A and B are shown apart, each in its own frame.
Chain A
């Protein structure tokens, strides 16, 4: 306690017990992290060898390689290539194992929404086509009826009739598409497109308030 200037008395215990002799200098405190690859005191034990280990090593490499071809290896969305290269053709891996449909009954419902969406978009065009294909038939019948009527009235202008047929067919298609678009729009947004609030309702309220204030 008395010798303030002496290094030893920095500690309240006997430094000798730590293994430093009377005259030894204390090691300086470490201020840098220990080296990344410290020298090894002993040589490491050699790796295990043998048939068993070799086989397992080969298996591991095989598994690693084959896991890339399984559908479980998910690719990030392909980046837009700056230039189409000749070699691209050869670098794309085979995608034959890509398809994989999990058993949705074993998964939460929300995970397979994506699939339903896909189906939706797939089925929609089919419906469209059906409508299209159905429409011309009706149309033809109608036209035929008209034709007969027309024939009764005027037995001429057959060429003009044919033109009409084409025209009306063309007209029908865009109509169809329009109807369809509206449906889709409504489904997606849940808003009624005919309803439009220009925000004037608020103004009316404030007017009322003013009125009230005058009372």
Chain B
């Protein structure tokens, strides 16, 4: 992981879990794998606090543990998962997606699980139902069954999954034998490998109980033991990312071709949503017939038109849709036309488009022209760049060097003679898409870190002002509740002076952007 990632992780951990967790987490990030004692010693933190921190990190799936290098009898060693911490940045997006797909209930389910890392189904259902009931008018309450319904739909579409079972470490260590290496990392086991990954447990939460008085329920909850004890659920981030990728592809098709073709692509993606693994390069092949049948009738796309669209999609240079083959003979040649998606190529094309637009926005359209030229022609000499881009030589050089110094363009030397003499060497400019994309990602991480730091700074600078405004708001609220007169309210409001108010507004304007 890079310095930028560590910095961002540290800020995120601090923001969500406090300073102690940040300290422990960053130390783990820097040193890779450590055992408990070493961690406590090196961070100069008390053992109990370190334990608590590790509990928090493991609970949220941000840390994994396993028997260390000294085998199953050695001390347990801990690792931290950098990507998982960075996912915290996307929490609102996950929640919003759940809301748009499954409504408020789905939103709350995802929100609760994200905030607590892992939960049992019964506790999720109970908390969400309670929260929904609170927001409802008096006398109404949320049925458990409805929440269970939303939950099971999230599981069916793989947005939620069971936490992988933990092999009991104590067993392996007490047996002392050198087991298969597979059991050495009990936590890193892929959740997908568990056959029960998406199997719902039977839980019995009676609805009559939900309709009871709240106080009574609270009493019951403390003693109640549910059937799904020990079965924890977590958010399947891969599935969410797959969804985001699909949305990006659909949007790209819609802007490149038209709405109808994007609906066809959407249908194709939906058909293979659950069956395709998240990292697969292609969706499973589907025939034109199947697509036709799966298309919602509201689109009103006739069969011949669908065929035309599919041909169009296959021929499109963005290569979103590919042809797997036209097997079959005689009359059914067209009907068994298999379509499939080239996901990697589609995403790479999207990434390229993003790169191009970044260059365009930061360095102007003429630099973007040079950049696109290099992307298309792969390797070019300086003279060729000037000529092909049709930009005056001096300006072209200037732009090219700027891009080179920003590392968006790379320079490849090819000497004609072994002495690398510059006069006998080809200097070829090229764009390496993957490293350049990574560079931009790092830049983004840096930007986010800078933003967080800026917000913390601004908040610190204006702490007194913020506190004052909070206090006055509280006073106002209590006055309003007690039915005070308007003049009184205005008097309290005037306690914040005009310049202070301006300052507050400016602050909110700055802070609330992130």
Contacts and interface: CB of A to CB of B under 8 A. Distances in A.
A74 B91 contact: no
A180 interface: no
B49 A41 contact: no
A47 B16 CA distance: 25
Given A77-B46, A108-B65, A110-B36, A72 B60 contact: yes
Contacts of B362: 41-42
Given A19-B394, A47-B513, A110-B76, A67 B16 contact: yes
A11 B253 CA distance: 51
A45 B56 contact: no
Interface stretch (A56-64, A122-130, A165-173, A196-204): A56-64
B65 A12 contact: no
Contact of A19 (B49, B166, B398): B398
A74 B422 contact: no
Interface residues of A, number: 42
Contact of B95 (A59, A66, A67): A59
A72 B58 CA distance: 11
A42 B58 contact: no
Given A19-B398, A61-B512, A114-B48, A14 B15 contact: no
Contacts of B169: 108-109
B230 A105 contact: yes
Contacts of A11: 422
A74 B76 contact: no
Interface string B87-117: 0000111011000000000000001001111
6 contacts: A56-B95, A59-B91, A63-B115, A74-B52, A77-B49, A111-B54
Nearest to B37: A110
A14 B424 CA distance: 11
Contacts of A31: none
A12 B55 contact: no
Contact of B393 (A19, A52, A105): A19
Contacts of A105: 166, 168, 230
A108 B171 CA distance: 11
Contacts of B17: 67, 72-74
B73 interface: no
Nearest to A101: B55
Contacts of A112: 51
Contacts of A109: 169-170
A113 B115 CA distance: 26
A60 B17 CA distance: 15
A59 B96 CA distance: 8
Interface in B1-50: 15-21, 36, 46-49
Nearest to A106: B166
